[in-house]
Amino acid sequence: MSLTPPSLSISDLTKRFGRFVAVDSIALELRPGELVALLGPSGCGKTTTLRMVAGLERPSAGEIRFGDRVFVSIPRAIELPPEKRQIGMVFQSYALWPHMTVFENVAYPLQLRGIAKADIRGKVAAVLDLVNLGGAGDKQIPQLSGGQQQRVALARALVYEPALMLFDEPFSNLDTQLRGQMRMELKMLRRKVEMTGLFVTHDQVEALSMADRIAIMHAGRIEQIGSPSEVYRQPKTRFVRDFLGRVVNLRGTADAGGFRIAAGGERLAVAATHDVHPGATAELSIRPEFVAIVPAGAPDRPNSINATIEELLFTGDRFEARMRVGGDNVLFDLPSDRAWAEGESVRLHLPTDAVSIWSLEPDAK
């Protein structure tokens, strides 16, 4: 794998099941060596997209190319069967073959490629070592733990060094702890093995922490593509904003370059607006972790507003607080280094560059 792996290019890809459109003319480019996450709620078409790339599902329209090879092109009636695409895939269910041992599972792809027996043994051993399963080759699949099975599936996909790797919710069947561990391992693996990869998840932490770029899907369409921090900080659509992380929304009215809280009447300066005309009803959005909260009498900073603590919940390392801001009730975390009180007034500082304004007019998206 000395050469840079080729790039994956998806254009105008559509998949219909009967009249239902599962994937709606999406386009996506993967740069060589890049790992892209497909993120979205259940049923938005992630798996379907992945399966079309793998050749397990035939698109209704569109084209997928990998380097100079056409995987599939509906207009030109080209379709490469999955076995000719030279890709690796880790299934959500692992799809290990229960009638083969660990060794046999991993060796099978190599046998298909007509590799000599001795070489197979060496390669399998190496890849099993890579996934920390050295010495488990003779085990039967049902004798393995979930995490081990997961790693066998990974080894099976890696062993023939495919240029493109696909993962469908690779960690969804693992418990939280194992999941974290596997993420780490995969990340480390990427340093050792260069590969272009596409992985599907509906776990945002997974997407944010592992992917070079994230494509957020919604109802068969890609809503936004960008680096993790881009999509997190600068959501382009309301869907992306609400889907990723927590968000605090306050209702009010927009004006030129600013925003007035509905009930309190305070005015805030804002950086980003999304299709908002001055005077329109709108909402202000900000991720709670960007909001600085100080007791009422503390030295004030610009772009701050008043709030009242209505309810407090002590959770050990912090407080969860329900606050009244203008006419809205919102939730914030408060540090536990200070004793807060219910009914106490506080000031919320909203940094200008972290605030965005979204129209609430009926015609808004």
Partner 1 sequence: MTTEPLDAVPVSAFAWVFRRLYMARGEIVAAAVFAAVAFLVLYPIGTVVYLTFVPNELSGVFGTIPWYRAFSEPGMLQSVLNTIYVVVAVQVISMPLSVGISWFLARTDLPGARMIEFCFWIMFFLPSMGVMTGWLLLFDPDFGLFNQWLIDAGLIKASIFNLYSFWGIVFVHLTTYGISVKVMLLTPAFRNLDSSVEEASFLCGANRWRTLIRIVLPLMTPAMLVVLLMSIIRGLETFEIEQVLGTPIKFQVYSTKLYLLMANSPPEFRAAGTLGTAVLAMVLPLIVLQRWASTRRSFAVVGGRGGNARIRLGRWRWPAFIAMAGGVAFMSLLPFLMLVAGSFMKLFGFFDLPQVWTFDHWATALADITFIASLRNMLYLGFGTAFLAVGIYALVAYCAVRAKSRLRGAIDMVTWLPYTVPGIVLSFGYLNMALQVPIFALLYGTVGALILVSFLASMPLGVQVIKVNMLQMGTEIEEAGRIVGGGWTRTFRRIILPIGSPTLAVVGIMVFASTIRSVSSIMLLSTGANRVLSVLQLEFLSGGSLGPAAVVGTVIVLISLAAAIVVRLVSSRFGIQARG
Ligand X SMILES: Nc1ncnc2c1ncn2[C@@H]1O[C@H](COP(=O)(O)OP(=O)(O)OP(=O)(O)O)[C@@H](O)[C@H]1O
List of residues contacting partner 1 (CB under 8 A): 54-56, 58, 65, 68-70, 76-79, 81-89, 91-99, 108-109, 112-113, 140-142, 146, 149, 156-157, 160, 173
Asked if 52 and 64 count as a contact pair (C-beta separation under 8 A), the reply is yes
Look at residues 8, 39, 46, 42 and name the one whose alpha carbon lies nearest to residue 24.
46
Q: Which is nearer to partner 1, 92 or 234 (CB)?
A: 92
Distance CA 133, CA 317 (A): 38
Q: How far is the CB of 59 from ligand X (least distance, A)?
A: 13
**Eight-state DSSP code of residue 288:** G
Burial 50-88 (b: 16+ CB within 10 A, else e): bbbbbbebebbebbbbbbeeebbbbeeeebbebeebebb
| Residue 47 touching ligand X (CB under 6 A) | yes
Q: Which is nearer to ligand X, 131 or 240 (CB)?
A: 240
Partner in contact with 89, chosen from Mg ion, partner 1, ligand X, none, beta carbon below 5 to 8 Å by kind? partner 1
Residues from 2 through 41 that contact ligand X (CB under 6 A): 17, 20, 22, 40
Pairing, β 164-168 against β 20-30: unpaired
Which tokens is 282 given? 């709108």
Q: Which is nearer to partner 1, 113 or 187 (CB)?
A: 113
Q: Which residues bind Mg ion (CB under 5 A)?
A: 47
Q: Which is nearer to partner 1, 142 or 316 (CB)?
A: 142
Question: 8 - beta bridge partners?
Answer: 30, 66
Distance CA 251, CA 284 (A): 6
Q: How far is the CB of 237 from partner 1 (least distance, A)?
A: 32
Partner in contact with 86, chosen from ligand X, Mg ion, partner 1, none, beta carbon below 5 to 8 Å by kind? partner 1
Q: How far is the CB of 259 from Mg ion (least distance, A)?
A: 38
Partner in contact with 314, chosen from ligand X, Mg ion, partner 1, none, beta carbon below 5 to 8 Å by kind? none
Which tokens is 45 given? 């078409």
- Point out which residues bind ligand X (CB under 6 A): 17, 20, 22, 40, 42-48, 202
